[in-house]
Amino acid sequence: MTTVRTVMTVAALTVQEASRRKVLRALAVLMLALLGLSAWGFSRLMDVEFDGSALTSGEARLVASQVLNLVMFGMSLIAALGTAFLAGPTMAGEIESGIALSILARPVRRSTVLAGKWLGLVIFGAGFVAVAGFAQFLVVWATTDYWPPQPVTGLALLAAQTMVLLTLGLLLATIISPMASGIVAVGLFGATWIAGVVGGVGQAFHNESVAQVGAVSRILLPTDGLWRGAMHSFQDPSALLLFGGELKGGFPFLSDAALSPAYLAWTVLWAALVLGLAAVTLQRRDL
């Protein structure tokens, strides 16, 4: 009971600390800029002409769902940057400054403090994704009358993507400097997404060896797999009927299948393993 109380206390303090950092203000500015640009872009969508005539309501809905996936990728990138650069200072910064010596005093276990900080960052990241995501949905609905078919599922998967990346960031923060841990985490996030695109191209051209690049990358770091599951929740089902058979994963903002329960279970296991490894590394680190 004492351990649970300590974890919750550290989590609450972590959320308070994260809300006071300049990173939060930077995230807010970036998100407002993205909302403003997307509002302007979606408002002009009905004026687009194809073959000399304006888009029908069905065509506009189809285009809106694909553009929404593009915008939500931008939002997920902002969330990834924010959480990665929050996770680094949370552990590595306190270790380098000596604050960890007082925080990690006995009888408080290092793993307990790490679990509390992880939980606080997860709450912070999930809250940001929920608020920013629903704000984006309202913008799209107000400008194009499109509402994604599974908004809650999609945002939950984006929150899980944020959780995976900050877990990786915490592990890296127990090994290297705060700035380096954020850079490496975001770099791996981008590399995994690119590998997923390459794998999709291989799948579209029936090249199994290239297609395996995406499959392996989604196992090693589940961020791209979770993103593709989120896309499937945001896109209009007619987009898959129209393009899915031809593209088969070759288009980076179209997902041809929902995530399987086995993959979701692997994501949970991956996060538990990486967090456990971070706890072991922190326990053995000389403060």
Lowest mean pLDDT among 42-46, 119-123, 280-284: 42-46
Residue 92 is classified by DSSP as: I
pLDDT higher than threshold 80 for residue 169: yes
Supply the pLDDT for residue 114. 84
What is the residue range of 208's domain? 2-284
b/e string for 111-125 if b means 16 or more Cβ within 10 A?
bbbbbbbbbbbbbbb
At 143 the pLDDT is 85
> Beta-strand (E) ranges in 112-270?
none
Q: Which amino acid is at 108?
A: V
Residues 6+ positions from 160 with CB-CB distance below 8 Å:
226, 267
pLDDT value for 153: 95
pLDDT of res. 261 = 93
pLDDT at 255: 80
The residues near 226 (Cβ < 8 Å, ≥ 6 apart) are 157, 158, 160, 161, 164, 259, 267
Contacts of residue 96, defined as CB under 8 A and 6 or more positions apart, other chains included, come to 177, 178
pLDDT at 49 exceeding the cut of 60: no
Q: How far apart are CA 229 and CA 213, in angstroms?
A: 18
Of 150-154, 251-255, 265-269, the one with minimum mean pLDDT is: 251-255
Number of domains in the chain: 1
Q: Which pLDDT value is given to residue 287?
A: 56
pLDDT at 223: 92
**Do the Cβ atoms of 7 and 115 come closer than 8 Å?**
yes
- Could you count the other beta carbons within 10 Å of the beta carbon of residue 76? 26
- What pTM was estimated for this model as a whole? 0.87
